[in-house]
Amino acid sequence: MKKSIFKASFEESLNLEDDGFVKLQQEQHDKTAKFFKNGHSSFWFRIRSLILSLIFPVGFNFFVLIVSMEFHESKTLTLPIAKHESLTVNVFLILLLIWLSFVVIGKLVKQSYLLPYRYQFHVFTFLVWFILEIDLVVFDILLANLFTAEIIAIYGIMMIETYMLFTIALAGLRKLIYAEASEDTFLNKIAKMISLYGMAILGIGIIIKHILGIFSLDVSTSIKAVGFLLMWIFCNIVVLAVSAFIGLPYFLQAYYKWKYPEEYRNWEGKSVEEWYGKQYLKKHKELLKNESEF
């Protein structure tokens, strides 16, 4: 039976530091950590974060909403689009509320050693929110240009791609943490074949369909449509890969630091105040006794 990646001992969790993507993320992590002192960020960092939040999470996603509305109202759009919008103002507000809820819940995390992870988590959730809105706009275009079976096939293969990416990522983490030999099961082999060749076969089929079967669109428009479709699929796979191979091990390390705080404090050679921050220690003065044990 495969071990859970969440049940490693402290010594086993230290193996995460050997993960290449964790090392890659560590540089950005250290830069972010400099802005957090004594358990809270500086005033200017808060102002900067507010401005960046208005520009990126709120601004970029609102821009996608505007683009969606323009597409549905446009009279010159070369590709047909569904009559009813999937990305509405209400959907945007719901997604905004969910993202803001994560921000508010994150305020409960006050330990200094977790604050950089909290900040990066909001960046990752913004990325997921952004690609989700893009997916809703593309879905409206797919709905008006492809048959239901083709749409199901596209999303089915993308789900298999997601399964494969996270299966590979989890297997790699288990092998790293527990020195566990990875097993290539029959199900994984089938999924790998579909993920490798299914999208190519589907893409060729759609190209042939558009060039030879739909005479309401010229050849150049059809090729552009297929190129747009493949670019959208590629962007989704990139986001999934970033989440599986960079986000997962990075936030898994945060989980183990939360699970073994004192062990990691001693391992990194930090004082109680440096590790937890003054603000957190005000409500957890019992941790100060650990200073003498360091």
Spans of all domains in the chain = 15-259
**110, 277 contact by CB (below 8 A):** yes
What is the pLDDT, as a whole number, of residue 290?
63
What confidence tier does 229 reach under pLDDT thresholds 50, 70, 90? confident
CB atoms inside a 10 Å sphere around CB 74: 10
Q: For all residues of the chain together, what is the average pLDDT?
A: 81
Q: How confident is the model at residue 50 (pLDDT cuts 50, 70, 90)?
A: confident
C-alpha distances out from residue 157 to 12, 113, 127, 186, 201, Å = 35, 39, 22, 18, 11
Q: What was the pLDDT predicted at 215?
A: 42
Please state, in angstroms and rounded to a whole number, the distance separating the CA atoms of residues 42 and 202: 52
What tokens appear for 174 in the block? Answer: 């288990």
Task: Give the tens place of pLDDT for each residue, 183-215.
Answer: 555 445 554 554 455 555 555 555 545 544 444
| Backbone region of residue 103 per phi and psi (left: phi > 0; alpha: psi in -120 to 50; beta: other values) | alpha
Using an 8 Å Cβ cutoff, are 163 and 191 in contact?
A: yes
Coil/strand/helix, residue 37? strand
As a whole number of angstroms, the distance between CA 260 and CA 140 comes to: 47
In angstroms, how far is CA 51 from the centroid of its own chain?
22
Residue 48 backbone phi and psi in degrees, to 5: -65, -40
- In this predicted structure, what is the pLDDT of residue 114? 92
Over 80: is that where the pLDDT of 38 sits?
A: no
Taken as a whole, the chain contains a residue count of: 294
Within 74-198, residue ranges assigned H as helices are 89-106, 115-145, 148-178, 186-193
Distance CA 225, CA 43 (A): 47
| pLDDT recorded at residue 95 | 95
Segments of 170-277 assigned E as strands: none
Nearest partner of 110 among 177, 187, 40, 46, judged by Cα:
40
pTM: 0.81
Sign of the CA dihedral with 117 first, then 20, 125, and 58 last: positive
Q: Tell me the torsion sign for CA atoms 158, 159, 165, 168.
A: negative
